[in-house]
């Protein structure tokens, strides 16, 4: 229906979780499957965009027609986004990068005989904020917000704090929404503060709604 309305545009998307090593056998990560970001990449490619998909570790197949860039840690995802953002017309940050990492990754496996393992966690870089700060006129930056309470309020704050054009908020405690499932239920919050609440639908259809909003903001 939308035909190839994204032809001529370059869209950068991140998907999936990132992984932060504790020791050579253990790590920290989160529940992201990558489905939301891959659905965005698939629909964007279908609609004619040149797509770069930066993916954390997932079980999903590469997206046909997209340039695939695989990363593991939040730091690596930051580097990949910094490399590809300058050439992108739009950046959609659907990934769930680990927000914390062990202050030091151990180079040997921690043994139970050594006693309880205490983890000192430090913050990882905020990729979306870095992109938004590097944004040049005409570039569109879209964030997600994964919330467990007062989703719209928290998302509005993220939109303002990170200088975004659009934020896609999902309440990840709701059935049929958020992590792992094939569907999502989101509210799209624009720069003007407007909130468009969508019903539960397939992630591919959510992706189409987001891409249509992106298309409206992009230069003609």
Active site residues: 30
- Interaction residues for ligand PMT, span 14-33 (CB under 6 A): 16, 32-33
Number of residues assigned to the chain: 220
Site string for ligand PMT, 109-128 (x = CB under 6 A): ---------------x-xxx
Q: Provide the phi-psi class of 176: left if phi over 0, else alpha when psi is between -120 and 50, else beta.
A: left
- HSE at residue 9, side-chain half, CA atoms within 13 A, is 29
Site for ligand PMT contains 56 (CB under 6 A)? no
Give the 3-state secondary structure of residue 91. strand
Q: Number of residues interacting with ligand PMT: please give it, by CB under 6 A.
A: 27
Site for ligand PMT contains 141 (CB under 6 A)? no
Site for ligand PMT contains 96 (CB under 6 A)? yes
User: Roughly what angle, to the nearest 10 degrees, separates helices 127-134 and 74-84?
Assistant: 20
Q: Is 61 annotated as a binding residue?
A: no
Task: Give the C-alpha separation, 52 to 10, whole Å.
Answer: 8
Per CB under 6 A, residues contacting ligand PMT are: 16, 32-36, 74, 93-97, 99, 124, 126-128, 143-146, 158, 170, 172, 178-180
């Amino acid at each position: 229906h939308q035909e190839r309305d994204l032809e001529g545009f370059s869209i950068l998307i991140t998907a999936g979780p990132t992984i932060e090593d504790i020791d050579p056998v253990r790590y920290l990560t989160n529940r992201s499957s990558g489905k939301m970001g891959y659905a965005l990449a698939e629909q964007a490619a279908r609609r004619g965009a040149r797509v770069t998909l930066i993916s954390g570790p997932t079980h999903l197949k590469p997206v046909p027609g997209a340039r695939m860039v695989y990363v593991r840690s939040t730091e690596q995802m930051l580097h990949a986004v910094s490399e590809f953002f300058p050439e992108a017309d739009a950046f959609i940050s659907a990934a769930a990068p680990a927000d914390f990492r062990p202050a030091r990754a151990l180079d040997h496996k921690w043994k139970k005989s050594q006693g309880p393992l205490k983890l000192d966690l430090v913050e990882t870089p905020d990729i979306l904020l870095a992109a938004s700060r590097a944004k040049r006129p005409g570039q569109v930056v879209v964030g997600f917000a994964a919330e467990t309470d007062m989703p719209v309020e928290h998302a509005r704050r993220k939109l303002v704090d990170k200088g975004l054009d659009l934020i896609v908020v999902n309440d990840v405690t709701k059935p049929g929404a958020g992590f792992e499932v094939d569907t999502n239920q989101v509210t799209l919050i624009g720069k003007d503060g407007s909130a468009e609440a969508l019903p539960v639908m397939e992630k591919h259809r959510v992706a189409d709604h987001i891409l249509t909003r992106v298309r409206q903001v992009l230069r003609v």
